[in-house]
């Protein structure tokens, strides 16, 4: 059975953004695996990426999404996107980069499994 990897590509810029301030730029990816690929699943993944960006702190964003055939090993396609994180003054409810995120999803709500796979209790873990 074929397996496809759906990845979100994140960027984060530290510091205040003021001229002369020391800023560091970093990035990471978060991935899901799915046994199928279709226009509908790509559209759903884009919607998931937009929702995920809403949890990011200021000065961070999702800069791209990538879809790759991993079994059998094959080509990848990357799409440039710009889904920004929060823009308001309050970052207290934002996701902090490099912190673990625990997701509990009903199978009917999202047909994809997470990078580490479904656990018996249908709990998903991503880091």
Q: Which of 30, 33, 5, 9 has its CA nearest to residue 112?
A: 33
Of 18-22, 41-45, 66-70, 88-92, the range with the lowest mean pLDDT is 88-92
Is residue 62 over pLDDT 70?
yes
pLDDT class of 115 with cuts at 50, 70, 90: very low
Domain ranges of the chain: 3-15+25-95
The answer to whether the beta carbons of residues 31 and 9 sit under 8 Å apart is no
Q: Which helix (H) or strand (E) segment is 27 a member of?
A: strand 25-34
């Amino acid at each position: 059975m074929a397996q496809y990897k759906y990845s979100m590509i994140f960027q984060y810029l530290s510091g205040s953004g003021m001229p002369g301030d020391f800023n560091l730029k970093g990035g990471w990816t978060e991935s899901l695996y799915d046994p199928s690929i279709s226009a509908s699943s790509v559209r759903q993944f884009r919607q998931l990426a937009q929702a995920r960006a809403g949890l990011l702190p200021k000065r961070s964003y999702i800069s791209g999404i990538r879809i790759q055939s991993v079994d059998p090993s094959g080509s990848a396609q990357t799409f440039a996107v710009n889904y920004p994180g929060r823009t308001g003054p309050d970052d207290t409810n934002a996701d902090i980069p490099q912190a673990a995120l625990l997701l509990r999803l009903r199978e009917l709500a999202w047909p994809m499994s997470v990078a580490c796979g479904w656990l018996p209790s249908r709990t998903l873990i991503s880091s």
